[in-house]
Structure 1
Amino acid sequence: MSISNLPTRLAEALEQRGYSTLTPVQSAVLEDQAAGRDLIVSAQTGSGKTVAFGLAMAPELLAGEEMLPPAGAPLALIIAPTRELALQVSRELIWLYSPAGARIATCVGGMDASKERRTLNHGAHIVVGTPGRLRDHLERGALDLSSLRVAVLDEADEMLDMGFREELEAILDATPEDRRTLLFSATMPRPIVALAKRYQRNAFQITTKSDDRGHGDISYQAVTVAPADIEHVVINLLRLHEAETAILFCATRDNVRHLHASLIERGFAAVALSGEHSQSERNHALQALRDRRARVCVATDVAARGIDLPTLTLVVHVELPRDAETLQHRSGRTGRAGKKGTAVLIVPYPRRRRVEQMLHGARIPAEWIDAPTPEQIRAADRERLIAALLQPIETDEEDVALAERLLAEKTPAEIAAALVRAHRSQLPEPEELIEATPEARRAAQQERHRPGFDDTVWFRMDIGRRQNADPRWILPLICRRGHITRNEVGAIRIAANETHFQIPAQLAAKFASAVDKFARTAGDDDDGIRIERATDAPQPGARADGPARRGPPNRSNANGKPGGFRKGPPRGR
């Protein structure tokens, strides 16, 4: 359908926004067989679905008129899973329906609820909100759904995944039975089918997702890494691409917090988004990305819902998505509006087969690549620097005078070298990685020789991977207990339920004495971890870490599997 066939006011709004044609999903919801019916719509992220359901509900709102009637009880309700997505939907509907005189109210968690209630009392044609806040207004009597003509569930599968089933049912049960229900869902799991069967009548299903499940504007890459190198690979990927805006996906808010802190420490301009951040903090973070004050966003899946950043060209899956749909939802933050984007999966060696199966099942053609090396990054830096410095520039008299003064005191070569040095000093250093070969991986599991550690004594601790043992807090604990420095600790081997570490033989007696004294006098400072001389060397299968390798410590999740980021000892330790 062409724009000229739409209601006059909506056509004017679309033309002002630069629309010349409608996207496939926008055209599909306006076809004759979809008119007036309940709809189940599956469409790719970034396909224009917000405008699609805005156009689909026009007959119920306008009822053949050019302007909406005076505002009262809402005629349309849009439910979205997150605050950011609800606010984005509200912004889209405002420009689309403002020419028709629409009043739109937004009701989301984290905002002033009393102000929202006053807005609802003054009347609204369209209400956009999140399930929890909408149910709260409904139960308090501030939200009157008795006149509702159309209800829209945006990203319904996500709302059910987030545990909003009761809220959705309470809201829909309060609406008239003859309302029209539009359900937008990327996937159709059984809970969605059950929801559709209960609240929709003779629904018409629309699928505009391409058979190319990989999304044509996104280049997928996968890189296998040693589990201990995950964070280092993240650094190198950011440095290699130097993307205008990048988003890094983690599985939990704790991992978001840790990775964000690591990036800040290394000099990256980064922000974080997770469930622990308030709406105000989210707004500040997103504005920093839009203003280019920040270039990297570390986020969880849920927190990133609804984010639309035109400059986003790189998505890194720091922790693997749970399935192909999540992979596409995450990656769909980039490659929008005809722009190209890159999505990179960081795959620990033990999980490569699982990722290959997921990509194959989803028909996503991913290129398996090696992790970027410092040499590759420095070569890319040189090319970027030369390209930037050779760009035409505009100068004024002050610039010329300063340049002449520099030339009088330094040679052109010295000035150029100083410029290059100043540029490089602003860039975080690339990280050295474990080689991506079977031999190197086996070598990484073994101890590495260090001068002064030819003759050592093994000690053991009664904690291991299952208790979240991590060299980042084990090493300071050893030094504190034994009155030694970190350079006097050799290899650290972490097994399932115990940890072994080396002390030079000439320091072993002094170390054992200090440890025994601590055990006798610690009192309230005792954290319950016992250190004692080992009766034999650790088994070769134990994982080796420690000062012998000055890289990131082991990272394990609560199940001992690689891929997570732990920040300290478990509770009770």
Structure 2
Amino acid sequence: MIDKNIARPLAAALAAKGYASLTPVQDSVLTTETARKDLLVSAQTGSGKTVAFGLAIADDILDRNEQLETSETPLALAIAPTRELALQVARELSWLYEQVGAQIATCVGGMDFRNERRALARGAHIVVGTPGRLRDHIERNSLDLSELKAAVLDEADEMLDLGFREDLEFILQAAPETRRTLLFSATVPNAIEKLAKDFQKDALRIVAAGESRQHGDIDYRALHVAPRDREPAIFNLLRLHEARTSIVFCKTRANVNHLLARMGNRGFKAVALSGELSQQERTHALQALRDGRAHVCVATDVAARGIDLPGLELVIHADLPTNSETLLHRSGRTGRAGAKGVSALIVPPGEMKRAQRLLKFAKVEATWAPAPSADDVRAMDDTRIMQHPALQESGEDEGSLSKALLEQFGPQRVAEAFIRLWREGRPTPEELTPPRQQHSPAAPRERGEFGASVWFSLSVGHTGRAEARWLLPKICEAGNITRDEIGAIRVRENETFVQIAEGVAAQFGPQCELEPELSMTRLDGQPSLDRPAPSPLRDRPRKDRKAPAPRREFKKSKPRDEAEFTSGNPVSERDDKPARPRKERWSASDRKEKSARAGDGATKGKGKKPAAGKAKWAKPSAGPRKGAGKKTGRKS
């Protein structure tokens, strides 16, 4: 039952929308403790946060009245991170406040600035916008927040992640300090807590029930596929469910464009949502999903943040999310307002452990299973044909025509024509490679005797830098087998031998190509796994090698006696040639005497003749003499 504390016009609007009771987050903001207080609320995506803060600010806007009077300046402000979410919030508040006569204006990037300024000039009770565009209006004096009574930050964690902190600070500083500030966020990291301390006063922390648990209305599935079957698995999943609206999440805009083109080629009615699209293109895409002209939305995380699509029953993670919070945000697009939904992760073998970590940290339990095969899709098609409304109801106007068809063509041909017409326009199911094992968490591997096997030869070895860890995933992918079905891998000089379990050896055939210039050939028996013999060069006899040149021998010199040092010409023992005179040492007294004699008529400089009357050479006993940096005569 709707809470009696809610204003009568708002309660009537909720009842008209089909609300029999409020969600936990909506109940939590309407208690007596929360009245007129700042709130920091964390709740999962899809828990009814927009209606929750719409009800929370009702007392500030209405002030116990049931009708709003004309206001020149806004009374409430709601800030959202993306254009789509801001427009969605404006739509939700429009029906909630319709009976009280509230005027709601939007200020979002990508829309006509002049139209927004005229709407603000006419007077708006509630303004909804994105941070950048709201700041533009404030700086250009077209948005006056002087009378603001309540400000709401929706998806506050996402706004900080997108770098809007400076814009948020600018906007909140332009509002009066007496306002209420309500922060709604799926998670409350440290940055959100700091923002709350800066711009809230004694904020009341509210954790909505179920914040840490998975949505009970969402069925999580992890589908293990072969690497080459990622896209065919997505197509079969869409065909199996045939949901009114489905959304496929990709990591990058390039992936979105690629997958959209592949879907268009196969006949799916799909649209794209990515950051490179203009606001008009994004609006048209969302409108096509709402009116049924398209059934599949291929989007990036940022583009699809916070959007609410009617009848969204299936969420597919074509690329695994980066973290558990993103997984919950993506999955929260479905399973809303009591409706059931499916969140499916496409998991190739190389990403299995990462998918397990994401599910563990998100605290959700997923069912691991193979992707739906072509036979599964055909079986579901047969069930849908038998349950087709046209077969369950009888029309009055078709009675005569149906009799004519039966008389002319017979019941067999009429039934066949009905089946063909029903299947016409539906994409053909994709044939998938059957998986070899369930990729659920497994016990540690204990390997015993390998058993019956077949040996294969690979055309690469040590010369091609082959390694077992490099070859193993290529072999698994080529035969769609697991590591447990591969035995020994022996790398040789120019080839490699691989042992494959006998039960799966037929999947490789007599010969298969792992990649260009790398083939795998089946052997008749077991190859010789002995180590190759040493190279002939290492085993060549020494006598074949060239003998080294003989070493030169020298005679030992006799010890010299003192006579050899005093004689004029000592004789060398080596070649009987006269040795060079040994340079005599000079004592300190000899050097002083030589220095005193230097300079008397001796020539200065090298190569000049001595002065007349002076001796050309010094005394034989003294040898060449030096004096105070000058040279006398020639150096001996």
User: Are 1:41 and 1:184, in contact at CA under 8 Å, matched by a contact in 2?
Assistant: yes
Matches within 5 A, 1:70-89: 70-89=70-89
The residue aligned with 1:261 is 261
- What displacement does 1:342 show? 0.7
Judge which range, 75-84 or 425-434, deviates more: 425-434
Alpha-carbon distance in 2 for matches of 1:251, 1:367: 23
- What displacement does 1:132 show? 1.3
Change in CA separation of 1:374 and 1:34 when aligned onto 2, cut-off 3 Å: same
The residue aligned with 1:317 is 317
Q: Secondary structure of 2:415's partner?
A: helix
Higher relative contact order (CA 8 A, sep 6+): 1
Q: Aligned pair 1:365/2:377, yes or no?
A: no
User: Are 1:155 and 1:184, in contact at CA under 8 Å, matched by a contact in 2?
Assistant: yes
User: Are 2:43 and 2:187, in contact at CA under 8 Å, matched by a contact in 1?
Assistant: no
1:198 is aligned with what amino acid? D
The residue aligned with 2:101 is 101
Change in CA separation of 1:446 and 1:355 when aligned onto 2, cut-off 3 Å: closer
2:24 is aligned with what amino acid? P
Q: Secondary structure of 1:307's partner?
A: coil
1:173 is aligned with what amino acid? Q
The residue aligned with 2:233 is 233
The residue aligned with 1:562 is none
Alpha-carbon distance in 2 for matches of 1:144, 1:102: 18
Q: Deviations over 1:406-433 (max 9, x none)?
A: 3233221122122223323322112222
The residue aligned with 1:23 is 23
Q: Secondary structure of 2:402's partner?
A: helix
2:264 is aligned with what amino acid? I
- What displacement does 1:164 show? 1.5
User: Are 2:105 and 2:119, in contact at CA under 8 Å, matched by a contact in 1?
Assistant: yes
1:27 is aligned with what amino acid? D
Alpha-carbon distance in 1 for matches of 2:219, 2:164: 33
The residue aligned with 2:250 is 250
The residue aligned with 2:411 is 412
Give the unaligned 5+ runs of structure 2: 438-452, 454-471, 481-511, 521-636
Alpha-carbon distance in 2 for matches of 1:422, 1:94: 43
Alpha-carbon distance in 1 for matches of 2:325, 2:401: 56
- What displacement does 1:446 show? 3.9
- What displacement does 1:30 show? 1.5
Judge which range, 400-409 or 308-317, deviates more: 400-409
Q: Deviations over 1:504-547 (max 9, x none)?
A: xxxxxxxxxxxxxxxxxxxxxxxxxxxxxxxxx4498xxxxxxx
Give the unaligned 5+ runs of structure 1: 449-489, 494-500, 502-536, 541-573
- What displacement does 1:335 show? 1.0
Alpha-carbon distance in 2 for matches of 1:108, 1:405: 59
Alpha-carbon distance in 2 for matches of 1:381, 1:342: 19
- What displacement does 1:300 show? 1.2
- What displacement does 1:180 show? 1.0
The residue aligned with 1:223 is 223
User: Are 1:103 and 1:126, in contact at CA under 8 Å, matched by a contact in 2?
Assistant: yes
Q: Aligned pair 1:34/2:34, yes or no?
A: yes
Matches within 5 A, 1:285-324: 285-324=285-324
Matches within 5 A, 1:279-290: 279-290=279-290
Q: Aligned pair 1:208/2:208, yes or no?
A: yes
The residue aligned with 1:52 is 52
Change in CA separation of 1:375 and 1:394 when aligned onto 2, cut-off 3 Å: same
Q: Aligned pair 1:429/2:454, yes or no?
A: no
Change in CA separation of 1:7 and 1:405 when aligned onto 2, cut-off 3 Å: closer
User: Are 1:212 and 1:364, in contact at CA under 8 Å, matched by a contact in 2?
Assistant: no
The residue aligned with 1:169 is 169
- What displacement does 1:247 show? 0.9
User: Are 1:105 and 1:124, in contact at CA under 8 Å, matched by a contact in 2?
Assistant: yes
Higher normalized helix content (fraction of residues) = 1
Q: Secondary structure of 1:431's partner?
A: coil
User: Are 1:447 and 1:491, in contact at CA under 8 Å, matched by a contact in 2?
Assistant: no
User: Are 1:25 and 1:208, in contact at CA under 8 Å, matched by a contact in 2?
Assistant: yes
CA RMSD of aligned residues (A): 2.4
- What displacement does 1:396 show? 4.2
1:418 is aligned with what amino acid? A
- What displacement does 1:106 show? 0.8
Alpha-carbon distance in 2 for matches of 1:443, 1:432: 21
Alpha-carbon distance in 2 for matches of 1:436, 1:85: 40
- What displacement does 1:165 show? 1.7
2:328 is aligned with what amino acid? Q
Q: Secondary structure of 1:410's partner?
A: helix
Aligned length: 456
Alpha-carbon distance in 1 for matches of 2:360, 2:376: 29
Q: Secondary structure of 1:263's partner?
A: helix
Judge which range, 31-40 or 301-310, deviates more: 301-310
Q: Secondary structure of 2:169's partner?
A: helix
1:161 is aligned with what amino acid? D
- What displacement does 1:250 show? 0.7
Structure with higher Rg: it is: 2
Change in CA separation of 1:412 and 1:319 when aligned onto 2, cut-off 3 Å: same
Change in CA separation of 1:101 and 1:386 when aligned onto 2, cut-off 3 Å: closer
Q: Secondary structure of 1:334's partner?
A: coil
Change in CA separation of 1:228 and 1:37 when aligned onto 2, cut-off 3 Å: same
Alpha-carbon distance in 1 for matches of 2:416, 2:75: 66
User: Are 2:327 and 2:362, in contact at CA under 8 Å, matched by a contact in 1?
Assistant: no
The residue aligned with 1:68 is 68
User: Are 1:44 and 1:209, in contact at CA under 8 Å, matched by a contact in 2?
Assistant: no
Q: Secondary structure of 1:5's partner?
A: coil
Alpha-carbon distance in 1 for matches of 2:298, 2:478: 33
Change in CA separation of 1:410 and 1:340 when aligned onto 2, cut-off 3 Å: same
